[in-house]
């Protein structure tokens, strides 16, 4: 069929091009951007403070930034919870893989995976999921 992308018959394509682009931005784009902000800050802090406290400084400074950016991105959108699960898993995967490739392998820090880093991974998973659930709950309540 002309114009059919093969996902579903006819014009029932689940993910039109605009939706695919939006999903890529939400998952890979924003996930990488947030990780990269923390990475640049950690490299700067590496030369300024003892390495044992870098994770805690980043956790305290970037948690509000992380939450505000996530709130701003998903504020006006009513998406299914599974969408936010995909976002959460993708962001956490990016954080884990890129931390290993660009921090553990390059800088070889001793005991990198301590409590602050594990909390950062937990936060990376929970923030988009909680934001999505709260916005969805609020939107459903407003429509009742």
At 13 the pLDDT is 56
3-state secondary structure string, the chain?
A: CCCCCCCCCCCCCCCCHHHHHHHHHHHHHHHHHHHHHHHHHHHHHHCCCCHHHHHHHHHHHHHHHHHHHHHHHHCCCCCCHHHHHHHHHHHHHHHHHHHHHHHHHHHCCCCCCCHHHHHHHHHHHHHHHHHHHHHHHHHHHHHC
At 94 the pLDDT is 98
pTM of the model: 0.84
Confidence of residue 98 (pLDDT cuts 50, 70, 90): very high
At 1 the pLDDT is 44
Confidence of residue 11 (pLDDT cuts 50, 70, 90): very low
Query: For the segment 34-78, what is each residue's pLDDT rounded down to a tens digit?
Result: 999 999 999 999 899 998 899 999 999 999 999 999 999 998 888
């Amino acid at each position: 069929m002309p114009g059919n992308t093969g996902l579903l018959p006819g014009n029932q394509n689940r993910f039109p091009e605009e939706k695919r682009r939006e999903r890529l931005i939400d998952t890979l784009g924003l996930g990488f951007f947030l990780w990269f902000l923390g990475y640049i800050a950690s490299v700067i802090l590496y030369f300024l403070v003892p390495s044992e406290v870098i994770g805690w400084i980043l956790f305290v400074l970037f948690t509000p930034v992380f939450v505000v950016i996530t709130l701003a991105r998903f504020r006006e959108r009513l998406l299914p919870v599974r969408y936010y699960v995909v976002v959460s898993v993708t962001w956490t995967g990016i954080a884990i893989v890129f931390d290993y490739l660009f921090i553990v392998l390059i800088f070889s820090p001793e005991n990198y995976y301590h409590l602050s880093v594990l909390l950062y991974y937990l936060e990376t998973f929970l923030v988009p999921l909680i934001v999505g659930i709260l916005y969805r709950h609020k939107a459903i309540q407003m429509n009742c």
